[in-house]
A and B are shown apart, each in its own frame.
Chain A
Amino acid sequence: MKLDEKEIAGIIKEISGSDVKKCMKCGKCSATCPAYGEMKFHPHQFVTMVARGKIDELLKDETVTRCLSCFACVERCPRGVEPANVVAAVRVLAEREQGGSNFVPDEVPALIIADKEIPQQALVSAFRRYRK
């Protein structure tokens, strides 16, 4: 079954728990985002695009994995929109689709060999955040 853009946007709103309509487009979330230069779309754009139901571009964007889940945007949004949760919801949908993520668990062992100091915490995160 194929869902259309609007339906998927609805799922994103639901699982992110974010009230995207509250956004007043001040841009504070993107101004504070440490991954700003790495992500094709910035936190305020995630919010706006989901609010409009125009998310095909977002779902295809591989740089979504560059979000650090640092919650700076959540903390500093004056409207309580929680942009990181919207980013995470988009990412989770990509991860849940077979082949949807641009990082697969098979790549993890090589990383351990490459750097023996990498903490388990990062590897567990990798399996969680970059799965399938």
Chain B
Amino acid sequence: MNYSYYPGCTLKTKAQDLDFYGRESAAALGITLEELPEWQCCGAVYPIARDEIATKLSAIRALMAARDNGTPLVTLCSACHHVLTRVNGDMQRNADIRMKANNYLKPAVPYAGETRVIHYLQLLRDEIGFDNLKQAVKKPLKGRKIGAYYGCLLLRPSKEMQFDDPENPHIIEDFIKALGAEPVVYAMRNECCGGYVTLKSEAQAKENVDLIIKNARAHGAEELITACPLCMYNLRAHQDGSMPVRYITELLYEALGLREGGAADET
């Protein structure tokens, strides 16, 4: 099946790994991710104030392009997923935003949030199925103790995101299991890494990261995975390097046996 794909700014630059492993793995699983032509950056933070319209337009353009393609829109970066999902919800539910955005964009067919936005993990769970994924795994990640780091953006506010149980999520643990590794559940997996505050105060972000990594380690995690480039940055930059952090798609790529030179897979 075909899906429209929205990579977002960071996957074209600092998080090229997240993008590359994601596309290659999807292709190996028989999924075609068709990158939207001429997509624009979503803005990275959802504009909360209800009178913000201009800051939502780039997201609306992407949503509309997917609608015109007649396909769901797949995201990979947690922040893009957060912004596109919530702006789409605004277009469905908020008549004022819908009217103003359509008046400004003047699309041939007005947009009212028809596109289905799905995150890559939901694609794996709901469209492929974790059981089928398990069958496709060529190199099960046996013996690896992996902590899922969810962060905030995928889960909250759950009323709008509808991603997973916001306080006891398990989609990434199920994903880890499908790949043959052992998921490590720890309490801080859905607490914030500090996000963009690291630009304002590294100390504040470090404090959050410390708590997360200590908690994950105390429960036996030997590595962490995330879907968010900013979580990745914070988790890596604000620790001593003893806890490896990888993208979800890199793990998938490995388990599907797509990495060259087998031996490296044992690390």
| A105-120 Cβ-contact flags toward B at 8 Å (1 or 0) | 0001001000101111
Are B204 and A71 in contact, CB atoms less than 8 angstroms apart?
A: no
Residues on A with C-beta less than 8 A from B196 are 68, 121-122, 125-126, 129
A103 contacts partner chain B, Cβ-Cβ < 8 Å: yes
- Expressed in whole angstroms, the Cα–Cα distance for A27 and B201 within the complex equals 25
Q: Using Cβ atoms and an 8 Å threshold, which residues of chain B touch A130?
A: 199-200
A16 beta carbon closer than 8 Å to chain B: yes
Establish whether residues A121 and B199, one from each chain, have CB atoms under 8 Å apart when the complex forms: no
- The reply on B157 being an interface residue by CB < 8 A is yes
Tell me the minimal C-beta distance from A33 to chain B in angstroms.
Answer: 10
Contact (Cβ within 8 A) A121 B49: no
Query: Does A128 interact with chain B (Cβ within 8 Å)?
Result: yes
Closest CB-CB distance, A20 to chain B, in whole Å? 15
Q: How many B residues face the partner with a CB closer than 8 A? A: 45
- Does A124 belong to the interface (CB within 8 Å)? yes
Given contacts A89-B49, A128-B43, contact A72 B9 (CB under 8 A): no
Q: CB distance B44 to A121 under 8 Å?
A: yes
Task: Say whether, besides A128-B43, A128-B55, A118 and B208 are in contact (CB < 8 Å).
Answer: no
Contact (Cβ within 8 A) B45 A71: no
B195 partner, pick from A85, A120, A123, A125, beta carbons under 8 A: A125
Give which listed residue, B9, B157, B167, B204, contacts A124 with CB less than 8 A: B9
Contacts of A111 in B (CB 8 A): 199
Main secondary structure of the interface of B (DSSP, over half): loop
A117 engages B157 (CB within 8 Å)? no
Nearest-Cβ distance from residue B207 to partner chain A, whole angstroms: 8
Contacts of B201 in A (CB 8 A): 38, 66
Contact A75 B157 (CB under 8 A): yes
- With a cutoff of 8 Å between Cβ atoms, the chain B residues found around residue A126 in the complex are 196, 199
Distance in angstroms between the alpha carbons of A16 and B50 in the assembled complex: 6
Interface centre among A70, A84, A123, A126 (most CB of B within 10 A): A70
| Min CB gap A92→B, angstroms | 5
In the complex, the chain A residue whose C-beta lies closest to that of B208 is A34
Contact B200 A84 (CB under 8 A): no
Kindly state whether residue A7 has any CB partner on chain B within 8 Å: no
Judge whether B79 and A17 touch: CB under 8 Å.
Answer: no
Task: Assess the A122–B233 pair: CB atoms within 8 A.
Answer: yes
Given A70-B192, A71-B157, A115-B237, 11 extra CB contacts under 8 A: A34-B192, A68-B194, A89-B49, A92-B52, A118-B14, A119-B13, A120-B10, A121-B196, A125-B44, A126-B199, A130-B200
Residues of B within 8 A of A (CB): 8-10, 13-15, 41, 43-52, 55, 77, 79, 152, 155-158, 166-167, 191-192, 194-201, 204, 208, 229-230, 232-233, 236-237
